[in-house]
Amino acid sequence: MTTSAPTTSPPRPARRTGRRWPPRRVGGVLAGGFLVVSSFQVALAAGAPFGAAAYGGGSAGQLPPDLRVASTVAAGFWLLAAGHALARGGWAARWAAHLPWAADRRITWALAVLCAGGALLNLASSSPWERFGWAPATLLLALLCRSLARSGG
Average pLDDT, whole number, for the chain? 87
Residue 13: inside a domain: no
Average pLDDT of the segment spanning 23-28:
92
Q: d(Cα 102, Cα 85) in Å, to the nearest integer?
A: 9
Residue 51: inside a domain: yes
Query: Is the confidence at residue 101, as pLDDT, over 60?
Result: yes
What letter would DSSP give residue 130?
Answer: I
Residue 3: inside a domain: no
Residue 103: inside a domain: yes
Residue 15: inside a domain: no
Domain total of the chain: 1
Q: d(Cα 121, Cα 55) in Å, to the nearest integer?
A: 10
Residue 14: inside a domain: no
Q: d(Cα 110, Cα 96) in Å, to the nearest integer?
A: 18
Residue 29: inside a domain: yes
Q: What is the extent of the structural domain holding 111?
A: 23-150
pTM of the model: 0.82
Name which of 17-21, 77-81, 92-96, 142-146 the model is least confident about. 92-96
pLDDT of 137 reads 97
Q: What percent of the chain has pLDDT over 90?
A: 65
Average pLDDT of the segment spanning 32-41:
97
Give pLDDT tens digits for 49-73: 999 999 998 888 999 999 999 999 9
Residue 50 parent element (H or E) = none
Which residues have CB under 8 Å from 11's CB, separation 6+?
A: none
Query: How confident is residue 3, by pLDDT bands cut at 50, 70 and 90?
Result: low
pLDDT of 6 reads 57
CA dist 71 → 26, 41, 98, 107 (Å)? 26, 5, 28, 21
- Estimate to the nearest angstrom the gap between the alpha carbon of 36 and the chain centroid: 11
Residue 67: inside a domain: yes
